[in-house]
Amino acid sequence: MTFGTSPSSMLSDNGPPFGSHGLGGLSRLGVWLLRLGAQPIFIEPGHPEQNGRHERFHETLKAETATPPRASVRAQQAAFNRFKRSYNEERPHEALAMRTPSEVYTPSERSMPISLPEHEYSDAFGVRRVRKDGSVKWDRGYVFIGEAMAGELVGLEAVDDGHWHVHLGPMRLGVLHERARTVMPLDTDCD
Protein backbone atom coordinates (compact mmCIF):
# COMPACT_ATOMS: atom_id res chain seq x y z
CA MET A 1 0.00 0.00 0.00
CA THR A 2 1.28 3.47 -0.83
CA PHE A 3 0.60 6.39 1.44
CA GLY A 4 -2.32 8.50 0.29
CA THR A 5 -4.22 5.74 -1.47
CA SER A 6 -7.19 3.75 -0.26
CA PRO A 7 -6.32 0.17 0.63
CA SER A 8 -7.46 -2.71 -1.55
CA SER A 9 -7.37 -5.01 1.48
CA MET A 10 -7.20 -4.90 5.26
CA LEU A 11 -5.45 -7.47 7.47
CA SER A 12 -6.97 -8.11 10.89
CA ASP A 13 -7.54 -10.78 13.47
CA ASN A 14 -10.69 -12.87 13.42
CA GLY A 15 -12.50 -11.29 16.35
CA PRO A 16 -14.87 -8.37 16.69
CA PRO A 17 -15.22 -5.83 15.30
CA PHE A 18 -13.42 -7.10 12.19
CA GLY A 19 -14.29 -10.78 12.08
CA SER A 20 -17.03 -13.14 13.17
CA HIS A 21 -17.95 -16.81 13.11
CA GLY A 22 -20.36 -16.22 10.22
CA LEU A 23 -19.88 -16.96 6.52
CA GLY A 24 -16.57 -15.65 5.22
CA GLY A 25 -15.70 -14.59 8.77
CA LEU A 26 -17.47 -11.32 8.01
CA SER A 27 -18.84 -8.91 10.59
CA ARG A 28 -20.92 -5.84 9.67
CA LEU A 29 -17.61 -3.93 9.50
CA GLY A 30 -16.18 -6.50 7.07
CA VAL A 31 -19.28 -6.24 4.90
CA TRP A 32 -18.91 -2.44 4.90
CA LEU A 33 -15.23 -2.72 3.92
CA LEU A 34 -16.17 -4.94 0.96
CA ARG A 35 -18.70 -2.35 -0.20
CA LEU A 36 -15.88 0.24 -0.07
CA GLY A 37 -13.69 -2.01 -2.23
CA ALA A 38 -11.34 -3.25 0.52
CA GLN A 39 -11.07 -7.04 0.83
CA PRO A 40 -10.93 -8.21 4.48
CA ILE A 41 -8.01 -10.61 5.05
CA PHE A 42 -7.85 -12.53 8.31
CA ILE A 43 -4.85 -13.98 10.10
CA GLU A 44 -4.99 -17.62 11.17
CA PRO A 45 -6.82 -18.05 14.48
CA GLY A 46 -4.38 -18.17 17.38
CA HIS A 47 -1.49 -16.61 15.42
CA PRO A 48 -1.23 -12.94 16.49
CA GLU A 49 2.37 -12.88 15.17
CA GLN A 50 0.89 -12.78 11.66
CA ASN A 51 -0.24 -9.24 12.47
CA GLY A 52 2.74 -8.34 14.61
CA ARG A 53 2.89 -4.61 13.86
CA HIS A 54 -0.71 -4.19 14.92
CA GLU A 55 -0.18 -6.24 18.08
CA ARG A 56 2.96 -4.25 18.92
CA PHE A 57 1.09 -0.97 18.47
CA HIS A 58 -1.61 -2.12 20.89
CA GLU A 59 1.01 -3.16 23.42
CA THR A 60 2.52 0.35 23.30
CA LEU A 61 -0.90 2.04 23.37
CA LYS A 62 -1.98 0.04 26.42
CA ALA A 63 1.31 0.62 28.27
CA GLU A 64 1.25 4.37 27.70
CA THR A 65 -2.45 5.09 28.12
CA ALA A 66 -4.23 2.41 30.10
CA THR A 67 -1.78 0.75 32.50
CA PRO A 68 -3.15 1.64 34.93
CA PRO A 69 -6.50 2.90 33.60
CA ARG A 70 -7.23 6.55 34.30
CA ALA A 71 -9.69 7.55 37.03
CA SER A 72 -12.38 8.93 34.70
CA VAL A 73 -13.53 8.74 31.11
CA ARG A 74 -12.35 12.33 30.59
CA ALA A 75 -8.88 11.53 31.99
CA GLN A 76 -8.68 8.36 29.87
CA GLN A 77 -9.58 10.33 26.72
CA ALA A 78 -6.93 12.94 27.57
CA ALA A 79 -4.33 10.13 27.84
CA PHE A 80 -5.39 8.80 24.40
CA ASN A 81 -5.19 12.31 22.91
CA ARG A 82 -1.65 12.83 24.28
CA PHE A 83 -0.57 9.45 22.90
CA LYS A 84 -2.09 10.19 19.48
CA ARG A 85 -0.23 13.52 19.24
CA SER A 86 3.07 12.00 20.40
CA TYR A 87 2.76 8.90 18.18
CA ASN A 88 1.77 10.78 15.03
CA GLU A 89 3.59 14.12 15.37
CA GLU A 90 6.57 13.85 17.73
CA ARG A 91 7.93 10.30 17.82
CA PRO A 92 10.04 9.19 14.82
CA HIS A 93 9.34 5.70 13.48
CA GLU A 94 12.08 3.40 12.24
CA ALA A 95 9.72 1.94 9.60
CA LEU A 96 9.27 5.48 8.21
CA ALA A 97 13.00 6.22 7.93
CA MET A 98 12.87 8.03 11.29
CA ARG A 99 10.05 10.32 10.18
CA THR A 100 6.74 10.77 11.96
CA PRO A 101 3.44 9.56 10.48
CA SER A 102 2.30 13.18 10.09
CA GLU A 103 5.36 13.85 7.87
CA VAL A 104 4.49 11.11 5.38
CA TYR A 105 0.69 11.15 5.50
CA THR A 106 -1.24 12.45 2.52
CA PRO A 107 -5.02 12.32 2.28
CA SER A 108 -6.53 9.75 -0.03
CA GLU A 109 -7.37 10.90 -3.52
CA ARG A 110 -10.47 8.72 -3.30
CA SER A 111 -13.27 10.39 -1.37
CA MET A 112 -15.67 8.57 0.87
CA PRO A 113 -18.88 7.96 -1.08
CA ILE A 114 -22.08 9.49 0.24
CA SER A 115 -23.79 6.15 -0.29
CA LEU A 116 -22.10 2.82 -0.79
CA PRO A 117 -22.42 1.19 -4.21
CA GLU A 118 -24.32 -2.10 -4.38
CA HIS A 119 -22.41 -5.22 -5.30
CA GLU A 120 -22.85 -6.05 -8.97
CA TYR A 121 -23.09 -9.52 -10.46
CA SER A 122 -23.05 -10.81 -14.02
CA ASP A 123 -26.15 -12.30 -15.63
CA ALA A 124 -24.83 -15.77 -14.72
CA PHE A 125 -25.73 -15.07 -11.06
CA GLY A 126 -29.06 -15.20 -9.31
CA VAL A 127 -29.24 -12.14 -7.08
CA ARG A 128 -31.04 -12.02 -3.73
CA ARG A 129 -31.31 -9.33 -1.07
CA VAL A 130 -30.54 -10.63 2.42
CA ARG A 131 -33.43 -10.04 4.80
CA LYS A 132 -33.08 -8.46 8.25
CA ASP A 133 -32.97 -11.91 9.83
CA GLY A 134 -30.00 -12.92 7.62
CA SER A 135 -31.95 -15.16 5.24
CA VAL A 136 -32.68 -15.06 1.52
CA LYS A 137 -35.75 -16.29 -0.28
CA TRP A 138 -35.02 -19.57 -2.04
CA ASP A 139 -37.36 -21.93 -3.87
CA ARG A 140 -40.56 -21.04 -1.94
CA GLY A 141 -38.65 -20.99 1.36
CA TYR A 142 -35.70 -19.31 3.07
CA VAL A 143 -32.01 -20.07 3.50
CA PHE A 144 -29.91 -18.46 6.23
CA ILE A 145 -26.88 -16.57 4.88
CA GLY A 146 -25.84 -14.44 7.87
CA GLU A 147 -27.05 -11.48 9.90
CA ALA A 148 -23.92 -9.49 9.02
CA MET A 149 -25.15 -9.46 5.41
CA ALA A 150 -28.62 -8.08 6.23
CA GLY A 151 -29.70 -5.67 3.51
CA GLU A 152 -26.92 -6.72 1.10
CA LEU A 153 -27.24 -8.20 -2.36
CA VAL A 154 -25.69 -11.66 -2.62
CA GLY A 155 -24.97 -13.48 -5.84
CA LEU A 156 -25.78 -17.16 -6.34
CA GLU A 157 -23.76 -18.97 -9.01
CA ALA A 158 -24.83 -22.44 -10.16
CA VAL A 159 -21.95 -24.91 -9.72
CA ASP A 160 -23.58 -28.24 -10.43
CA ASP A 161 -26.94 -29.87 -9.90
CA GLY A 162 -28.25 -28.60 -6.57
CA HIS A 163 -25.14 -26.64 -5.52
CA TRP A 164 -24.64 -22.89 -5.75
CA HIS A 165 -21.68 -20.69 -4.79
CA VAL A 166 -22.80 -17.80 -2.58
CA HIS A 167 -20.93 -14.53 -3.19
CA LEU A 168 -20.89 -11.16 -1.49
CA GLY A 169 -19.40 -8.98 -4.19
CA PRO A 170 -15.93 -10.39 -5.01
CA MET A 171 -15.89 -12.73 -2.01
CA ARG A 172 -17.10 -16.32 -2.29
CA LEU A 173 -18.69 -17.18 1.05
CA GLY A 174 -19.90 -20.75 0.76
CA VAL A 175 -21.89 -23.37 -1.08
CA LEU A 176 -25.67 -23.47 -0.94
CA HIS A 177 -26.92 -27.05 -0.88
CA GLU A 178 -30.32 -26.73 -2.50
CA ARG A 179 -31.88 -29.88 -1.05
CA ALA A 180 -30.78 -29.28 2.55
CA ARG A 181 -31.37 -25.51 2.28
CA THR A 182 -28.08 -24.81 4.05
CA VAL A 183 -24.95 -22.90 3.17
CA MET A 184 -21.65 -24.56 3.99
CA PRO A 185 -18.72 -22.17 4.46
CA LEU A 186 -15.63 -22.14 2.26
CA ASP A 187 -12.19 -20.79 2.88
CA THR A 188 -12.56 -17.15 1.90
CA ASP A 189 -11.25 -16.53 -1.57
CA CYS A 190 -11.70 -13.76 -4.05
CA ASP A 191 -12.70 -14.34 -7.67
What pTM was computed for the model? 0.75
Q: Taking the domains of the chain in order of start, what are their residue ranges?
A: 9-104, 125-190
Q: Does residue 72 have a pLDDT over 60?
A: yes
Q: Does residue 188 have a pLDDT over 80?
A: no
Question: Which one has a higher pLDDT value, 189 or 187?
Answer: 187
3-class DSSP assignment, residue 168:
strand
Could you say which architecture CATH assigns to the domain 9-104?
A: 2-Layer Sandwich (3.30)
6: pLDDT confidence band, cut at 50, 70 and 90? low
User: Tens of pLDDT along 111-128?
Assistant: 788 888 899 999 999 999
SS3 string, 58-118, reads: HHHHHHHHCCCCCCCHHHHHHHHHHHHHHHHHHCCEHHHCCECHHHHCCCCCCCCCCCCCC
Q: Does residue 190 have a pLDDT over 80?
A: no
Q: Does residue 1 have a pLDDT over 60?
A: no
Residues β-bridged to residue 138 = 141
Mean pLDDT of all residues in the chain? 88
Q: Does residue 38 have a pLDDT over 90?
A: no
